[in-house]
Amino acid sequence: MFVKSYYKYDSLRNISYRTTAPITIQKGRKAALNRKLYLAAVITAIAAAYIMYTNINAPDGIMEYIHQYIKGSGRMNETKPGNDSEYMLFSMGPGRNDTPEAVLTEYFDALKSASNLTGKQMAAVGGTVGSGLTPYRRAYQCWSREWRDNNSFQEFLDSWQGTAHVLLIKLLPAGGQKDQKRFFVETRHLEVTADKPRSGIFYYTGFFTVGRTREGWRITGGSLKPQNLVWELSGHQPWRCDPVMVAVADGLGLGLQAGVGSPVVRDNPDGTVSVIFSDDNIGEKCAIILYRPYDGMWRVLEKVADKQ
């Protein structure tokens, strides 16, 4: 034990004497206090990081608080396309990146890292995949308030059961009005079957509508349908590999034998084609915009008036 030695004066007896006092207890208490403070600081830092992480997928009230914080401080702004911050959707405001395309990009960015697998399915692929269920909350918030009122988060979550990964391959405009835009999407999914667990790659296409709401642009409708990768082998409806015939049947609503003259087919930079019909043959001059996804069957995106 360490002691401190010093002299003390007794005024009653008019003498000075030497005395000692232990100092190890005081130092020990100080060291213990320092350790406790350090531990408390570490626990506080971990708790703060956890709260920030979970708030990303928190209900609307908390996210609105974050939104207001961002607007006030200018922090946590959106990043460049392809590297979207998890705060991007909620930091968007009019005149910035609050666009229909940005909302759909955010939606599929969230689905890209999400997975909804049972224990048996995870065992079949060797363990957990991506970020698990967490990103689905962020994807769910991309839908409009009205849609969320009619579709619970659990129902949304269940719709992705067996999905390990979603990749957005194509996002194309497909018409719409000023406050209601329509888009065509093509996606590639990694899925795990439930009955005899094994993984596989599946391709989907679909149309989504994005509307302007009080929350900003939000998804108001849409669905994905699996592509038929066996179509080319089956020989059924072989005319679907011809963009002109698909434009006539699905774009104009006419029979395959209808006289439409010689429409012009023009390739577009975004991978689509325009099949242009003259008014001499169908009574109007218009263009049918089509896209050919992975399964090889042309899809009609929209019908527009030809300006040439």
CATH number at residue 193: 3.10.450.100
Mean pLDDT of the chain: 78
Same domain flag for 128 and 19: no
Three-state secondary structure call for residue 100: helix
pLDDT for position 17: 56
Q: What pLDDT is attached to residue 68? A: 38
- As given in the structure block, the two tokens for residue 64 are 């609105």
In a domain? residue 133: yes
| Res 289: pLDDT | 96
Tokens 């194509």 sit on residue: 170
Q: In this structure, are 239 and 173 located in the same domain?
A: no
Bridge partners (DSSP) of residue 163 are 191
Q: Which residues of the chain have pLDDT under 70?
A: 1-33, 42, 44-45, 47-97, 280-283, 306-308
User: What does the pLDDT read at residue 10?
Assistant: 59
| Last residue in a domain, options 202, 226, 250 | 226
Domain that holds residue 37: 3-54
Predicted pLDDT of residue 142: 96
Encoded tokens for 150 = 């009619």
Q: Is 74 contained in some domain?
A: no
pLDDT of amino acid 124 = 84
60 assigned to some structural domain: no
CB 185 within 8 A of CB 206: yes
How far separated are the first and last CA of the chain, in Å rounded? 99
If asked whether residues 206 and 237 sit together in one domain, one would say no
pLDDT at 31: 65
Confidence (pLDDT) at 143 = 97
Spatial contact of 254 and 272, defined as CB atoms under 8 Å apart:
no
What pLDDT is stored for residue 130 in this prediction?
86
Q: Are residues 261 and 289 in the same domain?
A: yes
Is residue 15 a part of any domain in this protein? yes
User: What per-residue confidence (pLDDT) applies to 203?
Assistant: 97
Same domain, 183 and 258: no
Query: Considering the entire predicted model, what is its pTM?
Result: 0.67
Report CA torsion sign: 92, 97, 100, 105: negative
**82 within domain boundaries:** no
Please tell me whether residues 108 and 215 are part of one structural domain.
yes
- Report how many domains make up the chain: 3
Co-location of 104 and 222 in the same domain: yes
Specify if 206 maps to a domain: yes
Q: 213 and 256: one domain? A: no
Distance CA 247, CA 277 (A): 10
